[in-house]
Amino acid sequence: MFHYGVLGTGRIAHKFIGALGPSREATVLAVASREQARAASVAGELHVPRAYGSYEALLADAEVQAVYIALPHHLHAEWAIRAARAGKHVLCEKPLSLTLAEAEAMFAAARDGGVWLMEAFMYRFHPQTLRVQELLASGAVGRVRLVQLNFGIVLGRPEDTRWRPEMGGGALYDLGCYCVNFARMVLGEAPERVQATARWSASGVDEVFAATLEYPGGALAQFMCDYVTGFHQTANVYGEGGVLALERAFTMQPDAATTIRLWRGAHYAPMEAIEVPPVNHYCLEAEELAALVRAGHAGHGLPEMPLVETLDNMATLEALHRSAREGRAVEVRADAAG
């Protein structure tokens, strides 16, 4: 059994711990909070054997093989690096970091420590996502010319850390990162230029964010993400020979099937509904990282979530944020970090 330790006790930590309950491949051995009482409460509720009142104490546990970082965005880089230096493999919640420079430092620490580091985009391990990749690779919609994505929720809790700019809050880094990730996956390359606009909340984070991304191969991606509209997360892929659509693209329910809708052909065609059975994609990502660690081979990690995509996407997010702040188009690699 592969042993995870979880840094953080929020909602995403609860989801991850609960998902591994039935697993025969991986389990959560320990959970840590900055308050012992909080860690003990969560451990008792979710049947985790060990509870620590500091993150450092969990990293010192020799039986913890990997750390799942479920902390606010601004803490990802610090604790991923500290975990890697402690010899722990790292599964870090999205977004991996807040800048490309932070992401590069995190991967450098993982290389130096001889451990794996992976961004936790759990949807990439879901059979729906894998089937989408298979369909596109087989030419089901022909050459892809446009990808459109939307991800919105009503974030009604004023105390939520996602409303705090100093903690890396905002819709782009919280929700838009999924859209950027999906477009990179579908198009197989990073954008070269982005143009974005945002509506800023009273606290200073982007509560509505919209963008157009231009790719070297001629394709475009457009997305909108927000904290002010009813729950939605759609993805549409438009090709020269058809259209593919997802109604729930990212946070699939573990107990409900999903459906890929496909229209083949450049002209009117009947819709094909491809049903995908339910699975828990948090469990799948944890088990796959555990299998990678056990295999012990060199390379760039799991094909479901390649390292190069993570770095491309961090550069893209950084450029998008700058574009919205400055009101101009930004070249992704040329001046995203300038």
- Structural domain of residue 164, as residue ranges? 124-281+313-335
Q: What are phi and psi of 75, to 5 degrees?
A: -100, -5
CB 38 within 8 A of CB 14: no
Domain assignment present for 47:
yes
Same domain for 128 and 248, yes or no, is yes
Judgement on whether residues 87 and 217 belong to the same structural domain of the protein = no
What pLDDT, on the 0 to 100 scale, is given for residue 302?
77
Residue 204: which CATH number?
3.30.360.10
Q: How many residues make up the chain in this entry?
A: 338
* Whether 212 and 97 share a structural domain: no
Q: Which helix (H) or strand (E) holds 187?
A: helix 177-187
Residues with a known catalytic role: 94
**What band does 335 get if pLDDT is binned at 50, 70 and 90?**
very low
In whole angstroms, how large is the CA radius of gyration of the chain?
20
Domain termination site, one of 76, 94, 120: 120
Mean pLDDT of the 232-247 span: 98
Q: Of 120, 144, 159, which closes a domain?
A: 120
Q: Is 25 a member of any domain?
A: yes
Q: Of 82, 98, 120, which residue is a domain's last?
A: 120
Confidence label for 298 from pLDDT (cuts 50, 70 and 90): low
Per-residue model confidence as pLDDT tens digits over 107-130: 999 999 999 999 999 999 999 999
Q: Provide CB contacts within 8 A for 143, sequence distance 6+.
A: 239, 240, 241
In the chain the first and final C-alpha atoms are separated, in Å, by: 45
| pLDDT of the residue at 207 | 98
221 and 252 fall within a common domain: yes
Tens-place pLDDT, residues 162-196? 999 999 999 999 999 999 999 999 999 999 999 99
H or E element that contains 5: strand 2-7
286 close to 26: Cβ distance less than 8 angstroms: yes
Answer yes or no: do 131 and 263 share one domain. Answer: yes
Per-residue pLDDT tens digits for 91-108: 999 999 999 999 999 999
Is the separation of the CB atoms in 213 and 221 below 8 Å?
yes
Same domain, 156 and 208: yes
